[in-house]
Amino acid sequence: NAGVTQTPKFQVLKTGQSMTLQCAQDMNHEYMSWYRQDPGMGLRLIHYSVGAGITDQGEVPNGYNVSRSTTEDFPLRLLSAAPSQTSVYFCASSYFGRGPEQFFGPGTRLTVL
Amino acid sequence: AQKITQTQPGMFVQEKEAVTLDCTYDTSDPSYGLFWYKQPSSGEMIFLIYQGSYDQQNATEGRYSLNFQKARKSANLVISASQLGDSAMYFCAMSLPGGQGGKLIFGQGTELSVKP
């Protein structure tokens, strides 16, 4: 199993550009989530999904879109990048009701100029 | 509103000694989970230990134990016999209502440095 994979590892954008951060898991987990981590802070939940076709907002959803067309994939779209979105983005997945552990991807470091 | 507070930005501990990292939480939901994650300088998030709000016993995983005091709303992490490899950021987290482990809120973290 590859676990949770994220691409790209690093990305530099200009203000106003759009892009998609990719996340995939091969563990057949129902739950998938996106978090951002700013310097010196803990992770904050952006969006999450409890299964294909079902998504909901977290603490800091503004400026981001998600969709979940398959169990495996949960892409995060930045609609119009802003310097405030410079952060490290983590994708995570977990079983629903079958254990507490959330498995994290390696993260994507995004810089918006 | 749910909240996690870690009041120790940084901690030092001598190798082989025990250390306690503090975490307090606030929620009105009777059902919740408490988590500790380790983040080394390489950046990945490593799950350490979990405590459910209805669990009677404190959780333990090897050298890690969670000192769960429900009335005080605290969930401190105890690391016994510290090792140099324990130097990292440590985050306390709590599951949001309806979220099991999929919706977490995190504290700001404690940076632990283990001295040889």
Chain A residue with minimum CA distance to B48? A101
Give the separation between CA B66 and CA A50, rounded to whole angstroms: 28
Facing residue for A42 by CB, picked from B102, B103, B106: B106
Write out the two tokens for B20.
Answer: 């306690």
What's the mean pLDDT in B74-89?
Answer: 97
Q: How far is B107 from chain A (nearest CA, A)?
A: 6
Asked if the C-beta of B108 comes within 8 angstroms of chain A's C-beta atoms, the answer is yes
Band the pLDDT of B109: cuts 50, 70, 90.
very high
Of B102, B106, B110, B77, the closest CA to residue B94 belongs to B106
Q: ∠ CA B66-B70-B74 to the nearest 5 degrees?
A: 55
Which residues in A lie closer than 8 A to residue B43 (C-beta atoms)?
88, 106-107
The b/e string for A10-24 (b: 16+ C-beta within 10 A; e otherwise) is ebebeeeeeeebebb
Give the separation between CA B78 and CA B81, rounded to whole angstroms: 10
- Say yes or no for a CB contact (<8 Å) between B44 and A94: no
Where would I find the H helices in chain A?
none
- Say yes or no for a CB contact (<8 Å) between B102 and A44: no
Which residues in B lie closer than 8 A to residue A31 (C-beta atoms)?
100-102
Is A5 in contact with A75 (CB distance < 8 Å)?
Answer: no
| pLDDT tens, per residue, chain A with 113 residues | 779 999 999 999 999 999 999 999 999 998 999 999 998 888 999 999 988 999 999 999 999 999 999 999 999 999 999 999 999 999 999 886 556 788 999 999 999 99
Task: For chains A and B, count residue pairs whose Cβ atoms are closer than 8 Å.
Answer: 70
B10-24: per-residue pLDDT in tens? 999 999 999 999 999
B30-71: per-residue pLDDT in tens? 888 899 999 999 999 999 999 989 888 999 999 999 999 999
Facing residue for B101 by CB, picked from A40, A102, A107: A102
